[in-house]
């Protein structure tokens, strides 16, 4: 088995163990067992459990960035791009519950992550929205007085709260496409020139 394949197997195993047991309750030995590798093999790829968590976040977010960029790159309408971004985000949460649990709950409980992590992947994700807002301003569709980076954080903040609700809600789930469209349209009402 190649190194890259083992690395991915370990991250996938960690995703499931963290989601099931919680980050603090998880043991490296449980991740190794889930990945079908020896305990020591984990340390050939990662320094510790925090390193596994951060690597999982970076890998998955990088994959999400590539996916959303490919979905919006051929669309010239910034209004539609905002809706597609929202839809992609909530669909990711709905389709990969283990990953959503890790990102929405477990990641935020890692002191090392919250204190030390330099958010370059997260900023790249936010910049997708900021770039769409700037594009809409350049095209004269969006109001010029809106700051793209602040708009990006506002949109992400709404999606983030809804993602947490999706992960933790015990009640019936909502239709993610309908809610994504609602979120996108509520922001577009404030962004679009009237």
Domain boundaries along the sequence of the chain: 53-191
Q: Is 60 exceeded by the pLDDT of residue 1?
A: no
Contact 52, 43 (CB under 8 A): no
CATH class for domain 53-191? mainly alpha
Q: Give residue-wise pLDDT tens across range 88-103.
A: 999 998 888 888 888 8
Q: Hey, which of 3-17, 110-124, 167-181 has the most confident mean pLDDT?
A: 3-17
Per-residue pLDDT at 58? 87
Per-residue pLDDT at 114? 60
**R_g over Cα of the chain:** 18
What's the predicted TM-score (pTM) here?
A: 0.86
pLDDT band at 186 (very low <50, low <70, confident <90, very high): very high
Contact 11, 56 (CB under 8 A): yes
């Amino acid at each position: 088995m190649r190194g890259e394949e083992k690395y991915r197997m370990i991250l996938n195993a960690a995703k499931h163990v963290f989601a099931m047991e919680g980050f603090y309750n998880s043991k490296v030995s449980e991740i190794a067992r889930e990945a079908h590798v020896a305990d020591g093999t984990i340390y050939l790829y990662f320094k510790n459990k925090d390193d596994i968590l951060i690597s999982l976040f970076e890998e998955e977010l990088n994959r999400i960035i590539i996916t959303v960029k490919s979905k919006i790159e051929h669309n010239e309408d910034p209004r539609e791009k905002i809706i597609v971004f929202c839809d992609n985000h909530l669909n990711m949460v709905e389709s990969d519950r283990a990953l959503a649990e890790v990102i929405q709950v477990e990641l935020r409980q890692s002191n090392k992550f919250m204190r030390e992590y330099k958010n370059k992947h997260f900023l790249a994700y936010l910049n997708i929205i900021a770039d769409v807002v700037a594009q809409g301003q350049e095209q004269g569709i969006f109001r010029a007085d809106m700051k793209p980076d602040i708009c990006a954080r506002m949109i992400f903040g709404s999606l983030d709260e809804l993602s947490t609700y999706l992960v933790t809600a015990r009640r019936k789930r909502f239709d993610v496409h309908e809610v994504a469209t609602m979120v996108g349209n509520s922001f577009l009402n404030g962004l679009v020139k009237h």
